[in-house]
Amino acid sequence: MSVTVRIPTPLRKLTKDQPEVEVAGADIESIIENLEASCPGIKERICDESGNIRRFVNIYLNDEDIRFLDGKATAVEDGAEISIIPAIAGGRGH
């Protein structure tokens, strides 16, 4: 099974500037592990020391936030699109 993972600009130095990477895996967790195998260092940008997805990183499976699905256990189907989106800090300071 292969899926397309969209890589945000800040992480593209780890993917040799590729905006999309093809990765195999049956769920989000295995996708992250396989992404790490082909792009060393990317997992620590996505996950914390405990292996949980960082609070400021959003992962979407076909436009659905995996936080509202099964998190890292969310199953993926062949041909799915996964987007890694770092949260943008913002707001107005007073």
91 within 8 A of 16, measured Cβ to Cβ: no
Domain ranges of the chain: 2-86
Q: Give the span between the Cα atoms of 42 and 23, in whole angstroms.
A: 13
* Tokens encoding 29: 């967790």
For residue 36, is pLDDT > 70? yes
Paired strand residues for 24: 2
- The arrangement of strands across the sheet holding 64-65 comes to 20-24, 2-6, 81-86, 57-61, 64-65
Is the model's pLDDT at 93 over the cut of 80? Answer: no
CB 15 within 8 A of CB 42: yes
DSSP three-state, residue 37: helix
Give tens-digit pLDDT for 42-74: 999 999 999 999 999 999 999 999 999 999 999
Mean pLDDT for the stretch of residues 19-40: 97
| CATH class of the domain defined by 2-86 | alpha beta
Mean pLDDT of 14-18: 96
